[in-house]
Each structure stands twice: as structure tokens, then as C-alpha cells.
Amino acid sequence: MAERRKILVTSALPYANGPIHFGHIVGGYLPADIFVRFHRLKGSDVVYICGTDEHGVAITIAARKAGVLPQVLVDKYHRIIKDTFDRMQIRFDNFSRTSRPLNHELSQQFFLNLLEAGHISLKTERQLYDPVERMFLADRYVLGTCPRCGHEEARGDECPKCGAWLDALELVHPRSAVSGAAPEVRESRNWYLKLQDFQPRLEAWIRGKTGWKDNVLRFVEAMFQTGLRERCITRDLDWGVKVPLPDAAGKVLYVWFDAPIGYISSTIEWARARGQPDAWQDYWLNPDCRLVHFLGKDNIPFHCVVFPAMLLGQPEPYILPDNVPANEFYNLQ
């Protein structure tokens, strides 16, 4: 009898900065749950992985507004989010947290492997700085007008309306999300992932895919036509995964670096809980395993370009996604 087909399914890790809502459920979780149940009925070997995303500027902003430490905030919303999934009867094989030590260790190892392979560079570049709060403004600490679609509440890393992947310096009329002040441009030293190193392999991989949603393929193809370039993967923050280098005090890894690694660390947790600590390799390092990411359209560049590049840059033969069904937003009003 042939071995059952292995399928590894993930849903985008919800930010632990607030409760999830109807749009979240219909976008990345209910479709995945249906997919998982369907393939289990067919007899496939399916593992469904998720967890809360607990780092990044969105967390620190929410904690600051609530007057609590980030750890207190993520503890609260991890429980609320998991309870919502339980009440919706969406069942994960493992629901983890990116703030757990295992994910910190794995993220740091990913960073060091990419650095050793020459895919990370150290650069001093211009960044926005809040003169009132006396702090550098990483991605979501900056709000402004999207230079692509004109949306006035775009963030320093992406536009929630058109999905454009942005740099904070591109925003028109930028303002600090902390103080509301107009930011200054100052220099800061950070580490950058050289995405251009991976463009030929990523293009060959994507263009060999069939059955992908048009919105996903069009979005990624537009990125390829523009040309991939270095992307900053560290931030001037005190909450997150510490950059594992002696000269990196006050620096943490960008949330979109450590968050998708949370899929892997969550799968490792699942394997350890089963008493089979190496079983995760039968999925992530198995070329016959099918990896499927369910998410919203704003996650497309990270799951179709950044995370695959990070996987390609590792010494282990990690699999790349077989499909990335990204849904458009379900807008009310």
C-alpha cells in the first residue's frame, strides 16, 4: 500500500495585539480548516499549524496605548484568540507563540546561516526618527499617504488598502504613530537580506506553478518586474528576537523575519509533544510533502518572496510552498 500523502497546512499567524474578527476567520482560517478536514476524509496525512505572532511594532504600539508591557498584552490576546478559534471549532494540531524560546533560537540560527552564506549585509541608511519621543520609527510606527494608491492611513511597511510593499521613506506626508509629530530623517545601522540573490530561483519556482490564484501570481510577478532588492530585517526596538551578534545591542529581528519561522518551530513543538522529536523533518525537509499557506492578500510578499528566500538560504533542504491561496479582504461598509 502506498504511503499516505503528507500535507503541511498553515494559516497566517494572527497578531496578538487585539481580538480576531470576522474578516480574519473567512480569510485565512475557515478555508484552511475546510481544506484540512477534506483531505483527512480522503485519508491524507495532514498537519495543521498556527500560533500567535507576538513581536513587532504593532504589538509595542498596542501595549503602549494600553499602558502595559508587551508580554502582558500578548499573554492576554493569545488566550482570547485561541478561545475564539476553539469556539469556532477550528482545530490546529499545534497552536504556538513566536515569543517562545524555541522560535527565538531557530530565528537566530536562520539569521546566522544567511549571514554566513553572504546573503545579509550591514548598512547604514536613512530612517525616520521621532524628535518628540527620541526614537527611530520602524515600519508601523510611521503612518502616511500611500504613494501607490493615495490611501492616507498607509503604514511604513505596507499599505492595507492596495497591499503595496512599502518603505517608510516612501510615504507621503509621514507622521509618527507614537507622537503624531513629523519625523526627521537620520542615519541608523541595520542588517539587510539580499533578496536579489534569490530572484532567479524564486522566478523559476513561481513560474513552474499551476493552479495558483491570479491575484497572487500577478502580485509576485509585479515584484519580479520591479526587481527584488535588499530589505532591512532588523529594527531599533527592545521587544523581539535579539540579533545574535556582539555589536547589535538594541537591535531585534524584523517581525516578518521571525514570524514565518514560527510555522517551523510550531511544527517542532507538535513533533516533540508526540514523543517523536524528529517527525517535523518528515514535513519541512520532505520534497514529497505539500506545503500550503492560507492567508490574506497583505501577506503575499512575505510568503511568496521573503520566507521562500529565507528557506532557500538555509543549509537544510526546506520545502517551498506548493500553493499560497491568499484571499482578498472582506470589507464591511
Instruction: Note the pLDDT tens digit of each residue in 5-56.
Output: 899 999 999 999 999 988 888 889 999 999 999 999 999 999 999 999 999 8
Q: Yes or no: say if 289 and 7 are a contact pair by the CB < 8 Å rule.
A: yes
Alpha carbon distance, N-terminus to C-terminus of the chain: 53
H/E stretch holding 214 reads helix 214-226
Of 105 and 4, more confident = 105
Residue 2: pLDDT above 60?
no
> pLDDT band at residue 331, thresholds of 50, 70 and 90?
low
Q: In what order do the strands lie in the sheet with 230-232?
A: 135-136, 120-130, 184-194, 230-232
Rounded Cα distance between 73 and 284, Å, is 31
Q: What pLDDT shows up at residue 134?
A: 79
Which pLDDT band holds residue 1 (cuts at 50, 70, 90)? very low
Please choose, from the candidates 43, 45, 53, 69, the residue with its C-alpha nearest in 3D space to the C-alpha of residue 18. Answer: 53
pLDDT tier, 203 (very low <50, low <70, confident <90, very high otherwise): very high
Maximum distance among all Cα pairs of the chain, rounded to whole angstroms: 68
Res 65: pLDDT? 86
Q: Which residue has the higher pLDDT, 67 or 22?
A: 67
The pLDDT of residue 330: 64
Whole-number pLDDT of residue 205: 96
Return the closest-CA partner of residue 244 out of 255, 234, 230. 234
- Contact by Cβ (8 Å): 310, 110: yes
Cell of 1: 500500500
* The overall pTM is greater than 0.85: yes
